[in-house]
Amino acid sequence: MSTAMNTELTVAAWPGLTPRLLTTGTGPESYEVYRDSGGYLPMTDADSLLDEIGTAGVVGRGGAAFPMAVKLTTVRKASLRGQDTVLVANGEEGEPASVKDRWLLRHRPHLVLDGLRLAALIIGARHTHVYVSDRAAAESIRAALGEVGPDGLDGVTVSVCTVDAGYVAGEETAAVRAINGGPAKPTDKPPRPFEEGVGGLPTAVSNVETLANLPYVHRHGAAAYREVGTEGSAGTFLATVTGGGRPPGLYEVPFGIPAAELIALHGISADRVRGALMGGYFTGLLDQRILDVAMDHESLRAAGSGLGCGAVSVLTEECPVAVGASVLAYYDRENADQCGSCFNGTAAMAAAAKALRDGSADADDVARLQRWSQVLRGRGACATLDAACNIAASMLALFPDDIARHLDQQCPGCDKAAFTALRPFEVEPQ
């Protein structure tokens, strides 16, 4: 069984929520509409805005949830010492199950550019880059830049860098390497981009959705930003939800809502839920505890999972062993082919998971997969190997009955038609 990609995308805000990031229009929001709604407000005090971003508790939406104010402050210090600095808006959405960044770039390019402008002014960057693989997103940003004009971003200039799509291409050092003229593949760290990035300069690499939150803080302040969400996860975020035979959905929701209610909003009843693939592919699998957790960073970490980029792929009829095998096979194909530990490790884990799915594995194979999922962590230049370890470890820990059935060659779903999607729960923007 493979999952046929449904290109119909439902876009909606949480009931009762006034959206901050989404719009209901079908095409790109124009400069006039965005400006007339309060966009591109002059920034008179970079220090005050930076303080507000910190007080608001804006964290990265790319997966790591790193505090935005800390990231900006680090690069701003270099600017205050007289160094040139650079800002990169990272819209290379490597997670196939996520669509939020590409949607923002296609539909709200001025919101992204406004956030980019504000961040650039804070860190003293005169030049910035929008880094994407989606050609339609690149065209949307270029068109928006034409509407703004050469002086519309307070002296901040913007280049659009387009690369081929790939899971590793969205990693921050891969973005810097590509903009510098190299392949879109990660590099060893240190140095990190804030130390030595684009052109060798201190560089802030920020996810597109993260930047898109800054105009709201600029316009309304930290207190208004914190009116929804939780103490540790303030504001709203974009959740990409797939699975259950439903068209994919992009929802703007407050942090802290019950995951069960988000799944219900997507049209999947709780009695059908077998588990979920969390945070795109990176965070791994979660069992039926998905129905008991809240959608915020703290709650999901406590459950042994994570929010990641906000993507939730709900498992209903799909066997979690087969889903895990498909994701591991994806990582085997998508690794950067640079680090021996990752190249060999993802291949070994993918082969073991495939054998388990197909009923040809034994207890020793499972033991090896378990060991690899622990000892291979942290060995690559990027997080691809860690992501593969997360998939393997969560599959083995949370679905022991399914593992046992596969060892006994008695999984009814896989006996009929195993889940074999090349890019599980992939979503395409509209």
Assess contact for 233 and 256: CB atoms under 8 A.
yes
CATH among 3.40.50.720, 1.10.1070.20, 3.40.50.300, 3.40.50.11540 for 20-225: 3.40.50.11540
SS3 assignment for the chain: CCCCCCCCCEEEECCCCCCCCCCCCCCCCCHHHHHHCCCCCCCCCHHHHHHHHHHHCCECCCCCCCEHHHHHHHHHHHHHCCCCCEEEEECCCCCCCCCHHHHHHHHCHHHHHHHHHHHHHHHCCCEEEEEECCHHHHHHHHHHHHHHCCCCCCCCEEEEEECCCCHHHHCHHHHHHHHCCCCCCCCCCCCCCCCCCHHHCCEEEEEHHHHHCHHHHHHHCHHHHCCCECCCCECEEEEEEEECCEEEEEEEEECCCEHHHHHHHCCCCHHHCCEEEECCCCCEEECHHHHHCECCHHHHHHCCCCCCCCEEEEECCCCHHHHHHHHHHHHHHHCCCCCHHHHHHHHHHHHHHHHHHCCCCCHHHHHHHHHHHHHCCCCCCCCHHHHHHHHHHHHHHHCHHHHHHHHCCCCHHHHHHCCCCCCCCCCCCC
pTM > 0.85: yes or no: yes
Radius of gyration of the chain (CA): 21
Among residues 295, 324, 315, the alpha carbon closest in space to that of 390 is found at 324
Give the separation between CA 142 and CA 426, rounded to whole angstroms. Answer: 26
Q: Given this model, what pLDDT does residue 1 score?
A: 36
Give the separation between CA 242 and CA 263, rounded to whole angstroms. Answer: 9
Give the separation between CA 155 and CA 30, rounded to whole angstroms. Answer: 21
How far does CA 3 lie from the centroid of its chain?
21
Give the separation between CA 161 and CA 238, rounded to whole angstroms. Answer: 24
Q: Which CATH architecture has domain 320-410?
A: Up-down Bundle (1.20)
Angle between helices 320-334 and 400-407 (to 10 degrees): 90
Assess contact for 40 and 117: CB atoms under 8 A.
yes
Strands 311-315 and 236-243: parallel
pLDDT less than 50: residues of the chain: 1-6
Give the separation between CA 347 and CA 203, rounded to whole angstroms. Answer: 34
Q: The tokens of 71 are what?
A: 């990231």
Q: Given this model, what pLDDT does residue 7 score?
A: 58
Among residues 327, 307, 310, the alpha carbon closest in space to that of 319 is found at 327
Among residues 47, 277, 255, 75, the alpha carbon closest in space to that of 172 is found at 75
- Name the amino acid, one letter, at 276: A
How far does CA 81 lie from the centroid of its chain?
33
The pLDDT tens digits of the residues spanning 147-183 come to 999 889 999 999 999 999 999 999 999 999 999 999 9
Domain ranges for the chain, please list them: 20-225, 320-410
Q: What is the strand order of the sheet 203-207 is part of? A: 157-162, 127-132, 86-90, 203-207
Q: Given this model, what pLDDT does residue 27 score?
A: 81
Report residue 203: phi and psi, to 5°. -135, 130
